[in-house]
Amino acid sequence: MALRIGDEAPDFATQTTEGPIKFHNGIVKGYAILFSQPKDFTPVCTTELGYMAGLKPQFDKRNCKVIGLSIDSVDDHKKWAKDIEETQGHAVNYPMIGDPELKVAKLYDMLPADAGTTSEGRTAAANATVRTVFVIGPDKKIKLMLIYPMSTGRNFDEVLRVVDSIQLTAKHTVATPVNWKPGQDVIIPPSVSDEDAKKKFPGGWKTLKPYLRIVPQPK
């Protein structure tokens, strides 16, 4: 099943380092980040898991849960967590899904259906496509998908920026321009007429083109 932005994130029940979860129930009314790793005890992923642990309080402020996944057992995750804390200075403080039967990876189209039913004997290279970040909204719909190569560490500051943009644009019916950061000007989308924009933005806006209207970020 190919997944796209706007699709409902598949639900599942599984074991994690913090006990069993049912994914949709775990999201409740907030946002969630599901990010995956191809294998435990891999170098780039070790740095990512540690950095995400340090960044997690920022996602908490945004009512955004962090959930990791790796193609190995929960027991292996717990052993790996010791290395992560020792080398990265942050203990893993979010649930890590154990996926030794590859069920969630297949459900989220990170591995093909014919990939087998066990992580045993599989190398990180064989699981190279299990390097995806999903941002999922309160409506259980996928808002963002990022897929990285194994050799490139992910930019979780960018994921935090995207969450800020998604939440702002959902609340105020605006869009954010290239490289936008919180507090900067935003865009009035073409779907909002000038008449409606006057009601929403009584302070006015700058029109660069009829389709490109810039306005200060709403509070």
- Residue numbers annotated as active site: 45
> CA angle, corner 193, sides to 189 and 195, nearest 5?
135
Collapsing DSSP to helix, strand or coil, 205 comes out as: coil
Tell me, what amino acid is at 22?
Answer: K
Q: Which amino acid is at 114?
A: D
Give the position of tokens 């913090």: 18
Nearest residue to 15 via CA among 76, 81, 106: 76
Which amino acid is located at 36 in the chain? S
> Could you give phi then psi for residue 185, rounded to 5 degrees?
-60, 155
